[in-house]
Copies of this chain bind each other. A is one copy, B any other.
């Protein structure tokens, strides 16, 4: 029986580690459980930012320099949209639209997001299994000094500028994990569960908020390893560090470990961060993931940490 690895992930940063993992072990043994609480309906289209980032990254279509969207994207749609006076704060590339249009059509026909994504991945020869955390609608709501904003409003439209007070996940109480999610965590063929260095509050917490997922992680006998999103006391990308400060937390791997307390067995900490007293196992490594080699190295370090715990 092949030994599988499961990884919980958000968008860009997480996708890098998933890609590394798909090179560190056979890609068909990887299951990614992906945040869908950033998903939103824009211009009548169902957009799934984190899932699509993973699809683009794993199929070699991602725009590495830009950090989101497709390499070699064209922008005729946005230009025409602007000429028609429509809202243009969210960038939809011409090629990118294919995913949104097909997804919207199939969702409208009553199909599950998970089966739509499985077809997309298969069409693009992606061997890893990509599972949305849920086929039910969950929406991240950010309580800020400017009021309650939905995620894309906070993240894209307001560029993370409002100060974050609270974060909640609308619909998470009633959402069911997508088919295969719980099995990917509790299955006896799973040798390690990784938590990608995605934003713990905006990308991982919504996954954990879906009924049964946190419980499965707490109960599973498989080692659960977090990769710290903090490098040298800062977040590599995105609003993680800012949000930690705004929520009154220290920007450190320790704070991340505490946030995941009771659920993770170990944390992989960047070598630039001073070893700190932790109540769980840890290892240090260079966790910056610029090249593919970096990504494979970090994946291997996380898997080794899992191995060391299992022994």
- Name A's B-contacting residues (CB within 8 A): 43-45, 70, 73-74, 76-77, 79-81, 83-86, 93-99, 101-102, 104-105, 108, 119-120, 123-124
Contact = CB atoms under 8 A, between A and B. Distances in A.
Nearest to A100: B101
A248 to B, nearest CB: 40
B102 A77 contact: no
Contact of A99 (B44, B80, B97): B80
A95 B76 CA distance: 5
A309 to B, nearest CB: 40
A77 B95 contact: yes
A86 B84 CA distance: 28
Nearest to A41: B105
Nearest to A45: B101
A119 to B, nearest CB: 8
Nearest to A96: B80
A80 B98 contact: yes
Q: Which 9 A-B pairs have the closest CB atoms?
A: A80-B98, A44-B105, A94-B94, A76-B94, A76-B95, A80-B95, A74-B76, A81-B98, A74-B74
B104 A84 contact: no
A81 B120 CA distance: 10
B84 A123 contact: yes
B97 A97 contact: yes
Given A74-B74, A80-B96, A86-B102, 17 more contacts: A43-B101, A44-B105, A44-B108, A45-B101, A76-B76, A76-B95, A77-B77, A77-B97, A79-B95, A80-B94, A80-B97, A81-B102, A83-B124, A84-B119, A84-B120, A84-B124, A94-B94
13 contacts: A44-B105, A74-B94, A76-B76, A76-B93, A76-B95, A77-B77, A80-B96, A81-B98, A81-B102, A84-B120, A84-B123, A84-B124, A94-B97
Contact of A43 (B80, B105, B119): B105
A33 to B, nearest CB: 22
Given A84-B123, A123-B84, A123-B85, A44 B101 contact: yes
A56 to B, nearest CB: 11
A124 B83 CA distance: 7
B104 A77 contact: no
A86 B173 CA distance: 35
Contacts of A83: 98, 123-124
A84 B99 contact: yes
A102 B44 CA distance: 8
Nearest to A44: B105
Contacts of A120: 84
A12 B85 CA distance: 26
Contacts of A77: 77, 94-95, 97-98, 101
A18 to B, nearest CB: 20
A70 B83 CA distance: 13
Contacts of A124: 83-84
